[in-house]
Structure 1
Amino acid sequence: MKLVGVAGALAGWKTNVVIHHVLEAAKEIDSNIETELIDLRDVEVEFVRGEPLAYYNEDTFKVVNKILNADFLVFGTPIYQASITGALKNLLDHFEVDAFKGKVTGIITTGAVEKHFLVSEYHLKPVLAYLKGLVPTTNVFVHNDSFSDENEIIDEEVTKRIKLLANEMVDLQQKNKRFMKEDT
């Protein structure tokens, strides 16, 4: 199985660090899982214009197809102005309505205000569900105070929640994969 993490931050490293930990935790659960981290600051995803994917630049085409070809996904974003980043929302706008059907889609958010944990539930989760992603019951919000000055996670509770999310994602995806085989 292939797990792709998408870091929607264009500045800072906290979101990337947390996604990396989720990817590593998933590999600890099942060593056969192949992982990849897509950092949106490293690619030029064009703004959606309502055209077929083939009309966009190579980065856009490659990123969208890597996500479509993944077995399951984890999306991460810092919270700015009580919302996900524009870069992540733009990327999600490139997908058709059933793009994530049969894929578990985990959520990671980071931010400086505790109440921003609600963005996962009321903003990102509905978008992923609209794209037919299977959203785990667990998501992880990491407050900026949970990081050292070197952007290392220093809160053991956060580490536990990351492992819980990875476990739920792997379990759901394995069960979903078996179900999809039985259904065909």
Structure 2
Amino acid sequence: MKLVVVSAGLSVPSSTRLLADRLAAATGRAAPGGAGAEIRVVELRELAVEIAHNFTSGFPGTKLADALDAVIGADGLIVVTPVFTASYSGLFKSFFDVLDKDALDGKPVLIAATGGTARHSLVLDHALRPLFSYLRAAVVPTGVYAASEDWGAEGLEERIERAAGELAALMAAKGGVAGVAGDAGDGGGRVTVVGPRVVAGRSPERGPAALTDAAFETVVPFEQRLAALRQG
């Protein structure tokens, strides 16, 4: 699986990049069958000038074009932004403004953000989720926000693992990984992937060996796959 991480952190070191790395590592661990993931990190601060030039010229520079191609070719995305004025950063938004409007159609995306205070945690649902819903991405149910006081505190690692598990399951489902069963959330929902078809259910004993011929005749729409992940 190809996983691309888009980090909009500006400083070095950056808490935004730290959260991005933790999410990427957790997603790799959650990959079906222990297969891991091929991870590519896109640092937007290194592309700021080319993004600005793209707006005025209409053409991406070499590095920006390579980053855009990586996003388009990814099986899943992790996007992380610092909070600026109660929303995502301008650099973060600008990158997705120059991306083709259909590039994220149906693509699994995990949204995350960092900020100085927990009061900005609603940025996930009030800014990031609407943006990627507009781009028709398949946004995983759990977003991850890390305030300054969250680092080293109880709860952050649990949210990271939960969100990463949901992303890995969606990537596997969309890619049609054969013979893989992935749990989402806290063990409630279950998606069993068999070739290109998916059978969603809640019973842990419903694995590939238990599938009947009738199951292979049923194709579950992608929206129902997402509903299965939200159960629990």
Could you state the TM-score of these two structures normalised by the residue count of structure 2? 0.70
CA-CA distance at 1:121 after TM superposition: 0.7
Overall identity of the aligned pairs, in %: 25
Give the distance between the partners of 1:175 and 1:71, measured in 2 at CA: 10
Q: Is 1:140–1:165's contact at 8 Å kept on the other side of the alignment?
A: yes
Give the distance between the partners of 1:129 and 1:50, measured in 2 at CA: 27
Considering only aligned residues, what root-mean-square deviation do their CA atoms show, in Å? 2.0
Q: Is 1:96–1:131's contact at 8 Å kept on the other side of the alignment?
A: no
In structure 2, the partner of 1:134 is 138
CA-CA distance at 1:50 after TM superposition: 7.6
Could you state the TM-score of these two structures normalised by the residue count of structure 1? 0.87
In structure 2, the partner of 1:22 is 23
What is the CA deviation profile of residues 130-184 of structure 1, one whole-angstrom value per residue up to 9, with x for unaligned ones? Answer: 111100110001111123xxxxxx123101100000000011121122289458x
Q: Which has the higher contact order (CA 8 A, sep 6+)?
A: 1
In structure 2, the partner of 1:49 is 55
What is the CA deviation profile of residues 17-61 of structure 1, one whole-angstrom value per residue up to 9, with x for unaligned ones? Answer: 011011111111223311111111233442252865xx2211221
**Per the alignment, do residues 87 and 103 of structure 1 end up closer, same or farther by CA in structure 2, a change over 3 Å counting?**
same
Unaligned runs of 5+ in 2: 177-192, 198-218, 220-232
CA-CA distance at 1:126 after TM superposition: 1.2
How many pairs are equivalent? Answer: 175
What pairs with 1:87-102 in structure 2 (closer than 5 Å)? 87-102=91-106
Structure whose CA Rg is larger: 2
Match of 1:176, as an amino acid?
K
In structure 2, the partner of 1:176 is 174
1:60 and 2:64 aligned:
yes
More strand by share: 2
Give the distance between the partners of 1:116 and 1:8, measured in 2 at CA: 17
What pairs with 1:135-154 in structure 2 (closer than 5 Å)? 135-147=139-151, 154=152
In structure 2, the partner of 1:157 is 155
Unaligned runs of 5+ in 1: 148-153
In structure 2, the partner of 1:79 is 83
